Structure 1
Amino acid sequence: MSKSRENRIVKDKILIGGGGQHRDSSIELFRIITMLCIIAHHYIVNSEILEEITRQNILTHNSLFSLLFGCGGKTGINCFVLITGYFMCESNISAKKFLKLFIEIEFYKAIFYLAFAFSGYTIFSLKEFTNALIPMQELGGGFVDSYLVFYLFIPYLNLLIKSMNKMHHLVLIMLCFLSGTILQTFLKASTAFTYVGWFMVLYFVGSYIRLYPKKSFQDRKICGISFLISLVFSWASVFARAWIYAEMGIRTIMYQSVDINRIFAVSTAVSGFLFFKSLHLKYCAIINKFAASAFGVLLIHANSDMMRQWLWQDILRNVQVYQSNYLVIHAIASVISIYIICALIDMVRIKLLEKPFFNWYDRFLDRKLISGIQNIGRLLRKEVQK
């Protein structure tokens, strides 16, 4: 394998799953923990446990544990995009990278719809199957579709970043946070950004950390204390909302204070990223291997409403367990097991399907695609010159 091709492969791994062979495992471990937080969030919100807590409106050990256990989902999304910004701000975007992301998303949509249909869990409908495969339908609040669209903007975001100096970059971040976080958190202003726009803001933050390293960014103690303080405030805000609802009867959205653009979700994500980056863990093959399938884990366990119904309500029976004494064990074991099982499924997909396809792509299609684009470019230049 040529060195240039090997470098392309390592860069491809940076986008979603990481796992590059020559990088330490600090951020890869953070990637895994981030996805575990997202799964834990889904354990609560997709299983109707949150609705059960709201309905009962009683503060119990199980309700408090559930609220805190699931409060890190939106923070996890922030972390995930920060990692993308940190790595991709100095990487070149290619058709192959986008194609790899797009095929992975569509593959899991198709395979699990067909699996549910052929198993008899649902009745196959060509219309439903086709609708399931249509990309970019949930740009307002759907992470996967929004991430796919956001990814198309990365080359232009990089051009903007390269055209700015350090001060311009910092001022841009401050303006984005003022309009997208501060006003929403403290003045209850309307949401300034969709998910796509918010991911761009986080991309600016991740790229700033990469391009303008500071001593404080590397100080493990400072980053660790900041992370701990942000985490405690996040938990306290969730507890406060639950208490206000239970004791004062004022209806409130339990996770509003840790929503994706709120100050606690942002501060926890940024400080957590800096803390794990400062750990400088040595390369660990197992960590990097499982981190490489983090996005696949998301695509599998949050595949569709059908998957949510089957996983959280039919198989794991979360609401029934919520009333029991072994909720804590069930919740932790479920989240870890889901990550491991989904990661193993994704590893099989990569080995049997993705690698063979893109090996063929590198040998044949890539050159033809580049040649075709060059020919189109020459034709356009001729038309302009006429």
Structure 2
Amino acid sequence: MIEKKERNSNIELYRIIVMLLIVMHHYVVNSGLLDEMFKTPLAPESIFLYLFGMWGKTGIDCFVLITGYFMCKSSISLYKFVKLLLQIELYNVLFYCVFLYTGYITLSFSNIIQVINPIPSVNTGFISCFLLFYLFIPFLNILLNNLSKSQHLLLVILCLGIYTMLGTVPWISVTLNYITWFCILYVVASYIRLYGIWRSEDKMFWGGVSLVLIIISILSVLMMLFWGISSGVRLDWSLVMFFVSDSNKLLAFLVSISTFMFIKNIHIRQSKWINTIASCTFGVLLIHANSDAMRQWLWKDTCDNVGFFHSSMIYIHALCVPIIVFIACTIIDFCRQRFLERLYLDLVVKYIQTSKLYITCHNRLKKYE
């Protein structure tokens, strides 16, 4: 029997908000809207969408910080890893079959391999890198638990100095790999959990810092937009979003830390509703960002984001669609948990228990050989 720990509803609410921000980011960047926005970069709807979709990479940092904060005092088991892996594979197979039936993709050997393989690339794809990062957690815990406080702090400074400080300097190229970056975030989150940081428990302080950093992040986007236009350079998303364009960028990192510290110190009553919805957030990501076919069907064909960009309804559309997508994906993943997960996880538990029994018996028999 696998014991379930009671989740903190404040952190779980944060998880929900973070995933909604990631869906909002995908609403903008995965729908063809960028091409339309850069045709009229100073139009009110374009500026609105820059600011609306700018928080995706910051959201990734927040999501991994939550993992690091709790897992540094916990442990990863084969059961947890297999649970994560099977969730990924289930949605890969399910949506491959759906899109094959609807004609969005074709039946081919390469497509089947893509579905079966949970690691399509080891670069900046969140899902595959997060899965591999999970395997590092036991080793990271051994490392961090054997460091002194000062050694741990120096490691944090070294990692952030290379990947965040140098990574935000325009003329210095820092190649980012998400597995490495997730490990760095884990080191940071574990330091916060084990030793705390300055004014760790002061929610008013961290609330104020969060507000200031969010405003600075917004101003940085507007500044880069107007600078790009006045300089005559070709505008693209990475230029306009420079300080939040990837998870290692300075403002993306600082906003994630400050908001995490703020939410961590807000104590709300345990809520079964919040905790249940939050348990579906990874499923929300797996569903709505499943594949290129999903992006085509969801954002381009069904929601028609580009079509609404040229209408007065774009603001209402942008505000409502990510919420609807989040709710729909949550319902799907809740049904998976409620009706399917127990079935296949029970088989996994039985297999693990049988394997352990076999290994124990085998080792005992060897003693008598």
**TM-score band (shorter)?**
over 0.9
Equivalent in the alignment of 1:369: 355
Post-superposition offset of 1:53: 1.6
Asked if structure 2 preserves the Cα contact closer than 8 Å seen for 1:37 and 1:76, the reply is yes
CA distance in 1 between partners of 2:360 and 2:260 (Å): 40
Cα 1:214–1:186 shift into 2, 3 Å = closer
Matching residue within 240, 251, 254 for 2:234 = 251
CA distance in 2 between partners of 1:91 and 1:273 (Å): 19
CA distance in 1 between partners of 2:206 and 2:364 (Å): 51
1:27 matches 2:17: no
1:235 matches 2:218: yes
Asked if structure 2 preserves the Cα contact closer than 8 Å seen for 1:32 and 1:290, the reply is yes
CA distance in 2 between partners of 1:200 and 1:214 (Å): 19
Partner SS, residue 279 of structure 1: coil
1:261 matches 2:248: yes
Cα 1:88–1:36 shift into 2, 3 Å = same
> How does 1:304-343 map onto structure 2 within 5 Å?
304-343=291-330
Q: Deviations over 1:309-334 (max 9, x none)?
A: 11000001111111221212111111
Matching residue within 341, 345, 361 for 1:358 = 345
Q: TM-score, normalised by structure 2?
A: 0.93
Asked if structure 2 preserves the Cα contact closer than 8 Å seen for 1:57 and 1:245, the reply is no
Partner SS, residue 222 of structure 1: helix
Matching residue within 244, 260, 280 for 2:267 = 280
2:54 maps to a residue whose letter is: C
Post-superposition offset of 1:218: 1.4
Q: TM-score, normalised by structure 1?
A: 0.89
Equivalent in the alignment of 1:292: 279
1:73 matches 2:29: no
Post-superposition offset of 1:132: 2.4
Q: Deviations over 1:248-280 (max 9, x none)?
A: 322342222202110000000010111111111
2:341 maps to a residue whose letter is: E
> How does 1:1-386 map onto structure 2 within 5 Å?
5=1, 8-10=2-4, 20=5, 22-54=6-38, 56-214=39-197, 216-252=199-235, 253-258=239-244, 259-362=246-349, 364-374=350-360
1:167 maps to a residue whose letter is: S
CA distance in 2 between partners of 1:71 and 1:165 (Å): 37
Asked if structure 2 preserves the Cα contact closer than 8 Å seen for 1:161 and 1:169, the reply is yes
Partner SS, residue 123 of structure 2: coil
Asked if structure 1 preserves the Cα contact closer than 8 Å seen for 2:114 and 2:120, the reply is no
Greater Cα shift, 368-377 or 231-240: 368-377
Cα 1:375–1:46 shift into 2, 3 Å = farther
Asked if structure 2 preserves the Cα contact closer than 8 Å seen for 1:179 and 1:192, the reply is no
Post-superposition offset of 1:376: 7.6
Post-superposition offset of 1:157: 0.3
Runs of 4+ in 1 over 4 A off after TM superposition: 372-379
CA distance in 2 between partners of 1:377 and 1:202 (Å): 40
2:50 maps to a residue whose letter is: L
Equivalent in the alignment of 1:17: none
Post-superposition offset of 1:281: 1.3
- The sequence identity of aligned pairs, in percent, is 41
1:203 maps to a residue whose letter is: Y
Aligned length: 363
CA distance in 2 between partners of 1:88 and 1:219 (Å): 23
CA distance in 2 between partners of 1:178 and 1:356 (Å): 46
RMSD: 1.9
Post-superposition offset of 1:239: 1.1
Post-superposition offset of 1:122: 3.0
Asked if structure 1 preserves the Cα contact closer than 8 Å seen for 2:41 and 2:47, the reply is no
